[in-house]
């Protein structure tokens, strides 16, 4: 099988690539250090499988999977990440990924999973709880944007100018967010949404 690896940490990317290249039936076509580069390489080389980290610069692994699904690309996407978050998992499933695996598994096990995926079967890390598959993101895209601005320290008046919404509307959104995520306050809402993976990805 022909594979591409997209991972922003050079040492991790190199280690995975080197170990998988030792497998007789796996050919490492190329590596990418960010999602934008990964998209370009996948479109140019059409590998069988792309291994994607989630939180990469410029374009996240989830955004890569979503873009390729929309294009109808035949490359099978596999998320390999440290993040066991329900929001990320749900988004990955919606993007049609064939695997969601955690990085604490040995590379030899990853090779086994890739062979299973090549046959058309889907593989999810056994460490993922059943609740993660059922727990949907309650936040709208607008609410996620507001939370990201709160996390970055923007005031209501600053967000009002950035998002072209009145301050009372921003406050209503914040109150709604706090209720939805069952938070105590704004900072707690940001923390809960970030841990759950409900605030998007690709932030570093």
Region 26-37: mean pLDDT is 95
The dihedral through the CA atoms of 134, 139, 144, 145 has a sign that is positive
Region 26-39: mean pLDDT is 95
pLDDT band at residue 200 under the 50/70/90 scheme: low
Tens digits of residue pLDDT in 162-196: 999 999 999 999 999 999 888 999 999 998 888 78
How far CA 148 is from CA of 74, 135, 187, in Å, comes to 33, 21, 11
Q: CA–CA separation, 46 vs 162, rounded Å?
A: 39
**What's the pLDDT score for residue 106?**
80
Whether 8 and 31 have beta carbons less than 8 Å apart is answered as no
pLDDT band at residue 53 under the 50/70/90 scheme: very high
For the chain, give the mean pLDDT.
88
Q: CA–CA separation, 38 vs 40, rounded Å?
A: 5
Going along the chain from its start, the domains and CATH numbers come out as 2-134 (3.40.50.2300), 141-196 (1.10.10.10)
Please, which contacts does 92-96 make with residues 24 or more away whose CB atoms are closer than 8 Å?
A: 92/62, 92/65, 93/133, 94/66, 95/62, 95/65, 95/66, 95/69, 96/65, 96/69
Over 70: is that where the pLDDT of 132 sits?
A: no
Region 137-162: mean pLDDT is 91
Give the strand order in the sheet containing 27-32.
27-32, 2-6, 49-52, 76-81, 99-102, 123-124
The answer for residues whose C-beta is within 8 angstroms of residue 57's C-beta and 6 or more apart is 8, 33, 34, 35, 202, 204
Record the pTM. Answer: 0.67
Residue pointed to by tokens 């970055």: 152
Tens digits of residue pLDDT in 87-117: 888 889 889 999 999 887 787 889 999 999 9
Phi, psi of 185 (to 5 degrees): -160, -170
Q: Count H helices and E strands in the chain, helices first.
A: 10, 6
**What's the pLDDT score for residue 203?**
36
Residue of 204 and 24 predicted with greater confidence = 24
**What's the pLDDT score for residue 202?**
37
Please report, rounded to a whole number, the percentage of residues in the chain having pLDDT higher than 90: 67
Whether 38 and 52 have beta carbons less than 8 Å apart is answered as yes
Over 70: is that where the pLDDT of 133 sits?
A: no
DSSP 34: S
């Amino acid at each position: 099988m022909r594979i591409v690896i997209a991972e922003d940490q050079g040492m991790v990317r190199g280690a995975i690539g080197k170990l998988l290249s030792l497998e007789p039936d796996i050919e490492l076509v190329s590596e990418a250090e960010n999602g934008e580069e990964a998209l370009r390489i996948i479109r140019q080389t059409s590998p069988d499988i792309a291994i994607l980290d989630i939180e990469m610069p410029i374009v996240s692994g989830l955004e890569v999977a979503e873009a390729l699904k929309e294009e109808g690309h035949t490359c099978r996407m596999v998320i390999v990440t440290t993040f066991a978050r329900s929001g990320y998992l749900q988004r990955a499933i919606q993007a049609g990924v064939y695997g969601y695996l955690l990085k604490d598994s040995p590379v030899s096990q990853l090779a086994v999973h890739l062979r299973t995926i090549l046959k058309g079967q889907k593989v999810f890390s056994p460490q993922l709880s059943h609740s993660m598959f059922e727990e949907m993101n309650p936040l709208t895209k607008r609410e996620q944007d507001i939370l990201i601005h709160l996390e970055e320290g923007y005031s209501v008046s600053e967000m009002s100018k950035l998002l072209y919404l009145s301050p009372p509307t921003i406050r209503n959104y914040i109150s709604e967010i706090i209720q939805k995520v069952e938070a105590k306050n704004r900072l707690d809402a940001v923390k809960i949404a970030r841990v759950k993976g409900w605030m998007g990805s690709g932030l570093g």
